[in-house]
Amino acid sequence: MKVHFLDLVSYRKHGEPAKGINPPRLLLEAFLVLIALGACLLKLPFATVEPVTWMEAAFTATSAVTVTGLVVVDTGSQYTLLGQLVILALIQLGGLGLMTFAVLTALALGFKLGLQHQLVAQEAFNEISLQTARRASGSIALFALAAEAVGILLLALFFVPELGLWDGVYHAVFYAISAFNNAGFALSADSLSDYVSHPGITLSVTGLFIIGGLGYIVIMELMDKRRWSRLSVYVKVILLATLFLNLVATGAVLLFEFGNPATLGALDGFWDKLLAAWFQGVTPRTAGFNTLDIGALTTATSVMMLLLMFIGGAPNSTSSGIKISTFVIMLAATRSFLRGNLNVTFFRRSLSSETVLKALATATIGMAVVFVGVLSLSALVEDNFLDIAFEVVSAFGTVGLSRGTTGELGTAGQLVIMAVMLIGRLGPLTLGYTLTVRRKSRVRYAQTEFPVG
């Protein structure tokens, strides 16, 4: 049996109904089922210290499955160990599950993994066999478990001496899974603020979520090719953009928070400040942990974070947002146009106009979702505009950082944020495909002139 990827698109192209499995709809349904199941489990008496409402259980389940980390109920104190394990399971299924789906889609659309041991035999465009899908999924799961195992070992080194064996190991497991999946769920209400000056824990956590946020394709190619010159253009661009964004973000936090007595100003010495700036600079692109008080950040830092949260990480990974590739293509297309060159190029390779249009569509839908979300919350919630905008963009990038609005959303506001988290995790294009009316004919029309700008 064959799995037909992007059948929704091919349906439109050929004007005939798709046969077999329709992955985008399958994905949406799987997420809804997982959320419903998770909410039921979290509603059971043994999952909570004090009973939670259905709304609280559904919000928690959505936040976990979409690996966001926004919470209306404190994870560490309000959920029992069993409740926390349910949350961990939802995070792993949501984070790893979507990454697997996205990698399979990329393979089916013809993206070559560039591995010596090629996973995918030459198959038809837009489909891969179930056997190939199974092998690829196994390899992705192995990658995730290996990364998480290393993370658990590293974190246990630091947590066990402090918290004892059982509690230390449990913290290591919880934070390793939460970090690799870019979930941002924490066992304390103030996230990792206790460890703001602990290089071992903060660097382990950032390492884990950066690896998860680069995703399977990038990491596998890195392990396989080892030398810069042999990497594919895509992987080079993702690595350079990630490095650039992380350095700029760290610099911005240092610059805008250095004298803020509620954040970096409270820390002694340059190295402690640098460590905290690094952690809080790299965490907005989907991870969502914090070691500084987000509500106390300056407006300038918050504005910088709005952009970082909107961009997110690499495609086919545990991160969300419009994705680094979309952001980079928009900039490169602008540069190309200004140079009078209609080909968008990176490292002497050009992109297809379909890829450029895909980036344009992703960015446009992403902005539309954020705009509608901010407008709705502005009408529904009495709160500061910055805090509202921050909450919505955080939900869209499934980041989980908050300036304090999460607790004041009310039922309607919570439903808005749940919808934005789901759209953000499934991706702007999945929403787009769902809303588009199918079109059967493909007539070519004469060109018209159109002044712009």
The footprint of K ion on residues 286-315 (CB under 5 A) is 288
Rule CB under 8 A: say whether 181 interacts with a second copy.
Answer: no
- The smaller minimum CB distance to K ion, of residues 4 and 425, is found at 425
Rule CB under 8 A: say whether 157 interacts with a second copy.
Answer: no
The least CB distance from residue 378 to K ion, in Å, is 23
Distance in angstroms (rounded) separating the CA atoms of residues 301 and 51: 37
Q: How many residues contact a second copy, by CB under 8 A?
A: 93
Rule CB under 5 A: say whether 69 interacts with K ion.
Answer: yes
CA dihedral 224, 225, 226, 231 (to 10 degrees): -130
The least CB distance from residue 257 to a second copy, in Å, is 11
131, 335, 407, 412: which one binds a second copy (CB under 8 A): 335
Q: How many CB atoms lie within 10 A of CB 361?
A: 14
Q: Which residue has the tokens 């952690």?
A: 279
Binding-site string for K ion from residue 394 to residue 433, where x marks contact by CB under 5 A and - marks none? ------x---------------------------------
Distance in angstroms (rounded) separating the CA atoms of residues 14 and 29: 25
Q: Tell me the window of 146-154, 159-167, 221-229, 319-327 that interacts with a second copy (CB under 8 A).
A: 319-327
Distance in angstroms (rounded) separating the CA atoms of residues 20 and 11: 12
Rule CB under 5 A: say whether 321 interacts with K ion.
Answer: no
> Smallest Cα–Cα separation from 202: which of 186, 216, 218?
186
Rule CB under 8 A: say whether 225 interacts with a second copy.
Answer: no
Q: Tell me the window of 21-29, 66-74, 305-313, 376-384 that interacts with K ion (CB under 5 A).
A: 66-74
* Residue 188: both structure tokens together: 């304390």
* Residue 112: both structure tokens together: 């070559």
Choosing among K ion, a second copy, none, which partner's interface includes residue 117 (Cβ < 5 to 8 Å by kind)?
Answer: none
Long-range contacts formed by 358-363: CB under 8 A, 24+ apart: 358/429, 359/325, 359/326, 359/329, 359/330, 359/333, 360/330, 360/333, 361/428, 361/429, 361/432, 362/322, 362/323, 362/326, 362/427, 362/428, 362/429, 363/322, 363/326, 363/327, 363/330, 363/428
Q: How many residues does the chain have?
A: 453
- The smaller minimum CB distance to K ion, of residues 168 and 213, is found at 213
Choosing among a second copy, K ion, none, which partner's interface includes residue 116 (Cβ < 5 to 8 Å by kind)?
Answer: none
* Residue 307: both structure tokens together: 């952009």
Rule CB under 8 A: say whether 230 interacts with a second copy.
Answer: no
- The smaller minimum CB distance to K ion, of residues 11 and 289, is found at 289
Choosing among a second copy, K ion, none, which partner's interface includes residue 326 (Cβ < 5 to 8 Å by kind)?
Answer: a second copy
5 membership: H or E segment, kind and range: none
Choosing among K ion, a second copy, none, which partner's interface includes residue 69 (Cβ < 5 to 8 Å by kind)?
Answer: K ion
Rule CB under 8 A: say whether 118 interacts with a second copy.
Answer: no
Choosing among a second copy, K ion, none, which partner's interface includes residue 358 (Cβ < 5 to 8 Å by kind)?
Answer: a second copy
Q: Which residues bind K ion (CB under 5 A)?
A: 69, 184, 288, 400
